[in-house]
Chains A and B, each alone.
Chain A
């Protein structure tokens, strides 16, 4: 290495070793802060959900004397949690399947064929990703009433399918674009028609994209609150999120059972995250979410 360059390299810091050491301490302090901030409240919630109320009030940070699993059975009994849980599952799974299927069909046509105003139409649909959906409360409420499905699970399934169509369409089209057209051209020569090309070639090959879109859609549907509250009025069709919101009224003094109920509501999200972590991260990093 030429002498000049060598000197220049170290001229900025007199003690490179030491500043590197402090740099890495600062780094670990920052990273540890965010780790603690993310994990600590949730661990606290989990521990508290296993305590008695007296223990919680007396010493908020202690471990339970004896694990109170009765809090969990209470949560199920008092709030009708199994009903809410079932409704959330039915709504989220149906909305996910419907949304991904419809988005995949449209994405296929948009990715593979040319027609008038295609780019304009696609751009308008994609702009839908940025619309603050909660501002559409009145018209969607009116629409659901007109369709005669107010206070049914179908109301939520249709709404969730509709409002996240732009995002799913965007994600899936990106994946279909990456499938070589030659595969389909070969299939056409073999006498493969429009529908069998879609179901036999595109569907299996775009699977990672479909799973990514489905994961986001499931989490959205499971966690959605505004429309779940607006479009339903009776407990028999309400979902988990609306349910836990009203727990605070039902469990006026029984905090620890309420915490148990919150923990139960989080479990499907955790399972989904553990199973589909790769798809979520690749969905975010492949630019799928970039407006």
Chain B
């Protein structure tokens, strides 16, 4: 479109607010984090340069290592459990069984509810006195398995990680849309050639939904990396740091007025994010 003088002024005025917000909430924070990750800083006095000390500190801190380990568990659960389940349900709904639109609506529903409310709901599920899970175990005569699920060192982490894995609505909708765009003739041709339904899904559907699967795995894994609310609300990192994750580690360092160390852990968070995004893209391209 042609640019007159008045439209040039308009362009600048229209870009300015977005530019200011983007610089304030993305550019400045990222630069700031990298610089202050090399300082010792309590948030009150001036930051003091301390070279790689923060990095040495976090890498020798067992809690930090455990956080990274736990985050890797979250990332794998999101990418390799939640997304494949979403693919499965999307393939089933793509056959348009009775009520598929209703199911699509209901499956997405948990995504509009806050994670805090969801976590509190699941705290009630896992509660040792009156929780649903223990109640169900009692009802089927397995009282021996009753637990204080979130207080037990061995069950707390799986409990916190796994309850969200079965909420597949968000990814399912994205994948379902891509399946619906596959021309029906592909399947007709395949079935004339004698391919069973299962073979058709494996050899036609799966290769053709690579794009949305990549998107979903990226989102799920980045989500596993930055997850915070479940852990904070349900266990606050306990018992004995067993459920600690990176963002909670960062948050606790802020509360301890160790802003430099907090930002060092933020640098690790961002780097792992880049590794996930680049790595997944490589992985999916290598299959071509």
CA distance A135 to B14 in the complex (A): 29
Question: Does any Cβ of B come within 8 Å of A37's Cβ?
Answer: yes
B114→A223 contact, CB < 8 A:
yes
B106→A136 contact, CB < 8 A:
no
Which residue in A39, A134, A139 is a CB contact (below 8 Å) of B32? A139
Which residue in B22, B112, B166, B222 is a CB contact (below 8 Å) of A162? B22
Task: Give chain B nearest CB distance to A174 CB in angstroms.
Answer: 14
Residue of A nearest to B104 (CB): A281
Task: Give chain A nearest CB distance to B17 CB in angstroms.
Answer: 5
On chain A, the number of residues with a Cβ less than 8 Å from chain B's Cβ atoms is 102
Which residue in B89, B193, B262 is a CB contact (below 8 Å) of A34? B89
Task: Give chain B nearest CB distance to A33 CB in angstroms.
Answer: 8
Chain A binding surface, main DSSP class: helix
1/0 contact string of A32-62 vs chain B (CB within 8 Å) = 0011011101101100100000001100110
Residue of A nearest to B227 (CB): A134
Question: Does any Cβ of A come within 8 Å of B117's Cβ?
Answer: yes
A41→B226 contact, CB < 8 A:
no
Residue of B nearest to A162 (CB): B25
Q: How large is the interface on B (under 10, 10 to 19, 20 to 34, 35 or more residues)?
A: 35 or more
1/0 contact string of A185-212 vs chain B (CB within 8 Å) = 1001000011100100000000000000
A281→B108 contact, CB < 8 A:
yes
B1→A130 contact, CB < 8 A:
no
Q: Which residues of A contact B131 (CB under 8 A)?
A: 60
Residue of B nearest to A103 (CB): B18
User: Which B34-50 residues sit within 8 Å CB-CB of chain A?
Assistant: 36, 43
CA distance A266 to B109 in the complex (A): 11
Write the residues of chain B forming the contact surface with A, with a CB cutoff of 8 angstroms.
1-4, 6-7, 10-11, 14-15, 17-19, 21-22, 24-26, 28-30, 32-33, 36, 43, 88-89, 92-93, 95, 97, 103-110, 112-117, 120-125, 129-132, 135, 139, 166-170, 173-174, 176-177, 191-197, 199, 211-212, 215, 218-219, 222, 225-226, 228-229, 233, 247, 250-251, 254, 259, 262-263, 266, 269-270, 273, 277
Write the residues of chain A forming the contact surface with B, with a CB cutoff of 8 angstroms.
5, 8-13, 20, 23-24, 27-28, 30-31, 34-35, 37-39, 41-42, 44-45, 48, 56-57, 60-61, 102-103, 105-106, 108-109, 112-113, 115, 125, 128, 130-143, 158-159, 161-163, 165-166, 169, 181, 184-185, 188, 193-195, 198, 219, 222-226, 230, 240-241, 244-245, 247-248, 255, 258-259, 262, 265-266, 269-270, 272-273, 277, 280-281, 284-287, 289-291
Please list 14 pairs of residues, one from A and one from B, whose beta carbons are closer than 8 Å in the complex, sorted by A's number. Answer: A11-B194, A27-B92, A35-B103, A61-B135, A105-B17, A105-B18, A133-B226, A139-B29, A165-B21, A194-B11, A198-B14, A222-B114, A223-B116, A281-B108
